[in-house]
Every structure is written in structure tokens, then in C-alpha cells.
Amino acid sequence: MKQVLKAFVGRQHYIALVNMYRHYPEWRDNVLRYLTGGGHYPYNIKVKTPAGMICPTLYSHHDLLTVNEIFCRLDYFASDDIKTIVDLGSNIGISALYFLTRNTASKCYLYEPDLRNVEKLRKNLVGFEDRYHLSVKAVSYEDGEVEFGIEATGRYGGIGLKTGKHIRVDCVHINGVMESILEKEERIDILKIDTEGVETETVNAIGVKHLSRIKKIYLEANPTYELRPELFKQMQYGSVCQLVNRNI
């Protein structure tokens, strides 16, 4: 309920409301679901995209919040000419669907360590198998096996979080990820980081030679200081910190 009440404060939420009408064929039902938390799940939501209609499967009201944040509030806005996206914390594939439906040529490198989410992600990305590469791993500022807190929805898990239940997952250093991708790609158009707690540390750990080839970074954080100001202009859009490369 607290998240819904916040929907009446901030420009980004009015953008979301307009886009719910534009992008949801069944917008009345989806607005009601969003506001009340009601409705039965699993639920196949219809969303209009530049690539046509998609119908990802949602498993709880929390997944509807994710769809709304990405497709309607435009938390990770992507232009229609994006080519290469790196998505850290891919959850059930909603952000990947957004990036993959901006055009017919974009490619996503996805990282998601929770096997429960991975199964749902693969189902939601049926038809896009040749345009994404999935690594079942966490990414942060360290290498090795880490404790990963999990909870029922799959949306709020993260490294070191005390959720009452945890799993052990493989974690790779962000620089290793960047190096392996930039060996194949000219640049990264969007690096999206939603890792529930280690976002700023991960950005701070990226080597300068890699940063210079990243156009935009979106991270779920509200830092109190400038991140990598030598290369990036920084803005805050709701809960998302946006870093835009000054030189690309």
C-alpha cells in the first residue's frame, strides 16, 4: 500500500499513469490491480510495444509493479536504436522484454542468480532466445560464492540481505563481466543494475577503461554523492540513479 500511495507524488508517476492507458489494452483492469493489489495470479498481461503485443506471465502483484515501473514509468528508458544491454538482476525477464522489444536487433546479456526467477524468465522470453545470453550468477564488486537472501516474490532478494532464508550463489566481479562483453561488443548502450543493495559499490568498482565504453548506467539507488563524475552526468529519476556518459 505504501508503494501505491507514493504513486501520487512525483512526475514519474503521472508519466506511468498516461502510459498505462497507452500500453495496456486492458488498462482499466490493470489500474485496478495496481491500486488494490487484487486479481488472480499467475496473470498474462498484455502490453503494447514497438515490436508488437507481448504477454508476459506475472506471478504476483509485485510483478505487476515491475511491469509498471519499466514499461509505463520508464525507469530504464531506452531509445529505439539501442543495440547492447547488460542487465544485472534480471528477475523474471520483464526488463529484458522491455529492452528486446525496442527494436528487432537489440541484444541482452542477463545475470540472475535465483533459479526460481530463471525458470520464469526463460518462459517470458520465449521467442527471443537468439537475442539474449543468460548467466545464472550474481554480479558485484567481488568474485566467489556469496550468501544471497531470498523471499517469496523473488523481487527483493540480494547479496547479504537478511530475509530469513538464503542460498549460496556464484558471484562474478563486474570487471570480469565488462571485459567478456566488451571483447565482443563495440560498446554497451545500457548497463542496468538492480541487485538490492550493492549497486553503488558495483558501479564504483568498474574500471575506467570499461566505463568509457558504457553510454548509460541505470542503478536502483539514491546515492548522496556523485558516482564517477569524471565521465558521467548524474540524475535521479524516482528510485533510479541515471548516469549518462558525457563523451558518447
Contact 89, 193 (CB under 8 A): yes
Cis peptide before 25 (omega within 30 of 0): no
Compute the average pLDDT of residues 150-165: 84
What is the strand order of the sheet 138-140 is part of? 138-140, 166-173, 144-149, 158-159
* Whole-prediction pTM: 0.93
Structural domains of the chain ordered from first start? 1-73 (no CATH), 77-248 (3.40.50.150)
Q: Cβ neighbours of residue 15 under 8 Å, at least 6 residues apart?
A: 72, 73, 74
pLDDT for 164 beyond 70: yes
pLDDT band at 9 (very low <50, low <70, confident <90, very high): low
Query: β-strand 84-88 against 188-193: which pairing, if any?
Result: parallel
pLDDT band at 8 (very low <50, low <70, confident <90, very high): low
pLDDT for 4 beyond 80: no
